[in-house]
Amino acid sequence: MKITGIELRRIAMPLKAPFRTSFGVESARDVLLVRVVTPDGEGWGECVAMSEPRYCSEYVEGAADVLRRFLVPALPDAVDAHAVKRALKPFKGHKMAKAALETAVLDAQLRASGQSFGGFLGAERDRVPCGVSVGIMDSIPELLDSVGQFVDEGYVRIKLKIEPGWDLAPVRAVRERFGDELLLQVDANAAYTLADARLLAKLDAFDLLLIEQPLADDDLVQHAALARRLRTPVCLDESIESAEDAAAAITLGAASVINIKPGRVGGYLEARAIHDVCVAHGVPVWCGGMLETGLGRAANVALAALPGFTLPGDTSASGRYFATDVTAPFELADGHLDVPAGPGLGVEPDPGFLDEVTTSVEWLPLQPSGAAGRP
């Protein structure tokens, strides 16, 4: 497949409500979209990097810079998603930028061949169960109201963000209000240390599905030590950036569940490889979220339909975060989202709304025919 050029488009997506985690508060998403243009069509990818390097070292402006200066110029003349992965391998890090470029190429490739994202990845379901992530609140009554709303909307699993000082009390309150039948898990975003093991062990009383990333992302050994002291399964998120990382974590006993975020691991090809490693070792996986628009959500829902994704993911409906999405909204039905069946991502951005929320557009020609400007 020949690429005419690549568009880097920044959009500003206000959130319906601020979302607070242990590493900060977001009230809007500064999203970088990558559009690959070929003689036969186009493809889209969404970069999930945040505005500031808090979740990880990547951030939106840095992702745009590395795409512009290094990743896009490295693409070969004839390209598919596997060739993109090979071409970008020499560049260290920048997995979220790489994932956006790989996804856009894969979307264009699959649209041209008439194959769906789910079909390419190996999806076995046409809909997936959905959980929702609930941020840190100012009070427990506010938290209970929020969880109650999501339960009423039909979400099949609730994830609570926690941090030191906001852990046992909110979890206890949610469990007492909504009962043992509620599927409940917590996410610390690396906010604790091994010195907190005794405190974290008290979460065992609440019959949680898992505790996600309790310790630093670069310390598998201490996660393994913590896992031996908890009954609650330890799930890793930020620590897992590759299939090799997943294999190491499983071997060490650092994780009995893994959260796969395609942007964090460099794209959907690597995400599928991690899934395959986990399936081979009998380790359940689920699909995490990064407050994606409908473009990123479509790809995540397709990934979550693979057989190893046995736990509900953070693939929430569009309305969880955005009043209006850039694509037709993903809507919850009986606690599930449908897997798009059309070619490529199976969704299209709304040109009018996209222009409305666009803050900048940059065109990067790859061939002389594209140098005259944006098509």
Catalytic residue IDs: 161, 261
Sign, Cα dihedral of 186, 189, 190, 193: negative
Q: How crowded is residue 176: how many other Cβ atoms within 10 Å of its Cβ?
A: 11
The Cα 93–Cα 99 span in angstroms is 11
The Cα 9–Cα 155 span in angstroms is 32
The Cα 316–Cα 58 span in angstroms is 24
DSSP, res 71: I
How many angstroms separate the Cα of 35 from the Cα of each of 32, 109, 372, 374?
A: 10, 12, 17, 11
The Cα 292–Cα 300 span in angstroms is 9
The Cα 363–Cα 371 span in angstroms is 9
Q: What is the DSSP string of 156-184?
A: SEEEEE-BTTBSHHHHHHHHHHH-TTSEE
DSSP, res 328: S
Q: Largest Cα–Cα distance of the chain, in whole Å?
A: 65
- Cα 365–369–374 angle (5° rounding)? 50
Which contiguous run of DSSP H or E holds residue 16? strand 5-21
